[in-house]
Amino acid sequence: MPKLKTLDDLKRVREEAQKSLKVRLDTGTTIIVGMGTCGIAAGARDTMHAILEELAKRQIDAHVTTVGCIGMCVKEPLVDIEQAGKPRVTYANVKPDMVPRLIEEHLIKGQPVTEWVLGRVKAE
Amino acid sequence: MRELALHILDILQNAIEAGATQVALTIDEDQAADRLTITVRDNGRGMDKATVARAINPFFTSRTTRHVGLGLPLLAAATERAGGQLTIQSEPGVGTTVTATFQLCHPDRQPLGDMAATLLAFLLGEKNVALHYVHRTARDTFEFHSADIRAALGDEVELGDPVVRQWLAEFLAEGEQAVQT
């Protein structure tokens, strides 16, 4: 049976993470992917995978998490991008091939991709 | 759904909705008996007999926002298409066990699919759940406890940390790769 990628491996990972933890604590960016039955059926898992890959490729720091169904099942996969001090933006029907542009324009250039936006919620 | 791994992700979410802190997911590919068994056992709030009987009904759900709950009925249909069945055992205050069986070689059985992606999506979404995963095939067994991983990372570092995410994705992919038949 393949052993847990040795505990030493994890210790190294822990150290690496702790080092940059101080710098990263204020990233303020959270990407939320809808993962209810409708989301899963619409391909949200693969969209989430694409997001994680794009973030890793560009070395962008953002928290990625999942939520349940909000009721607009026909618009799944739904992806929310929340950044400190900015309105929360919800994107609809996000397929994996849309992810690179989303990350590039919304996160890097700071310009939400309006044609894909479902709605915005004002920041508190 | 196209892969059983997607159904599994769905049922895992049910366990969280039920307030579970511990989930045991077992996938057993028994070639000798020509049976694939998927079990999700949780320590959530559970259901009484009447609720269990209604759980497979697509028009029954514990959600208050809508009158439709498709997760279990869709999985039940998938088992029936492939010569299997879905059974639910539950006890209020103790937990629930969902068992889905399929005929392993049935032409209409969906492929198991990308379990590594399903596990990653599940682990990244839930902070307080301990997952015990076992995937047994003729080739090998891939098993781990997410609690062990969290313990090794300590209190400060989360599973969702980008550095850890990368490691986790590789760990899951390698583990699944090792049991592919």
Domain assignment of residue A8, yes or no: no
Considering just the CA atoms, what is the radius of gyration of chain A in Å?
16
- Judge whether A89 lies within some domain: yes
Question: Cβ contacts of residue A98 below 8 Å, gap of 6+?
Answer: A91, A116
Confidence band, pLDDT 50/70/90 cuts, at residue A48:
very high
CA distance A89 to A10: 35
Residue A44 lies in a domain: yes
Read off the tokens for B69.
């709950």
The minimal CB distance from A52 to the residues B13, B148, B165 is found for B165
Whether A65 is covered by a domain: the verdict is yes
Give the CA angle between residues B87, B93, B98 to the nearest 5°: 15
Q: Tell if the CB–CB gap between A37 and B166 is shorter than 8 Å.
A: no
**How confident is the model over A10-43, as pLDDT tens digits?**
888 888 888 776 555 556 789 999 998 999 999 9
Is position A15 within any domain? no
pTM of the model: 0.88
- Most A-contacting residue of B150, B157, B170, B176 (CB-CB within 10 A), to test interface: B157
- Name the minimum distance, in Å, from the CA of B120 to any CA of chain A: 9
Q: Which residues contact A57 (CB under 8 A, 6 or more apart)?
A: none
Shortest Cα distance from A16 to chain B (angstroms)? Answer: 7
Compute φ and ψ for B53, nearest 5 degrees.
-60, -30
Phi, psi of B56 (to 5 degrees): -80, -5
Residues of chain B with pLDDT under 50: none
ipTM: 0.80
Which residue of A16, A52, A71 is in closest CB contact with B163?
A16
Question: In this structure, which amino acid lies at residue B106?
Answer: H
Q: A49 in a domain, yes or no? A: yes
Q: What is the pLDDT of residue A3?
A: 52
Whole-number Cα distances in Å, A29 to A24, A55, A107, B120:
10, 12, 9, 20
**pLDDT computed for residue B181 by the predictor:** 85
**3-state secondary structure labels for all residues of chain A:** CCCCCCHHHHHHHHHHHHHHHHHHCCCCEEEEEECCHHHHHHCHHHHHHHHHHHHHHHCCCCEEEEECCCCCHHHCCCEEEEECCCCEEEECCCCHHHHHHHHHHHHHCCCCCHHHEEEEECCC
Give me the pLDDT at residue B160, please. 82
For residue A110, the enclosing domain spans 27-121
- A interface with B, Cβ–Cβ < 8 A, is 1-2, 4-5, 7, 9-11, 13-14, 16-18, 20-21, 24, 33, 35-38, 40-41, 45-46, 48-49, 52, 55-56, 61-68, 71
C-alpha gyration radius of chain B? 16
Contact B152, A14 (CB under 8 A): yes
β-bridge mates for residue A121, sequence order: A88
**Looking at beta carbons, which residues of chain A come within 8 Å of B116?**
none
Asked if B125 lies within 8 A of A65 by C-beta distance, the reply is yes
Q: Which domains does chain B have, with CATH numbers?
A: 4-179 (3.30.565.10)
CA distance A34 to chain B (A): 10
What residue has token string 């029936």? B80
Residue B122's H or E segment, with its range, is helix B115-125
Which residues of chain A are within 8 Å of residue B6 when distances are taken between CB atoms? 40-41, 45
Predicted confidence (pLDDT) per residue in B118-133, tens digit: 999 999 886 789 999 9
Q: Which of B141, B153, B161 sits opposite A10 (nearest CB)?
A: B153
How many folded domains does chain A comprise?
1
Residue A16 counted as domain residue = no
pLDDT above 80: residue A7: no
3-state SS, residue B72: helix
For residue A71, what is the domain's CATH number? 3.40.30.10
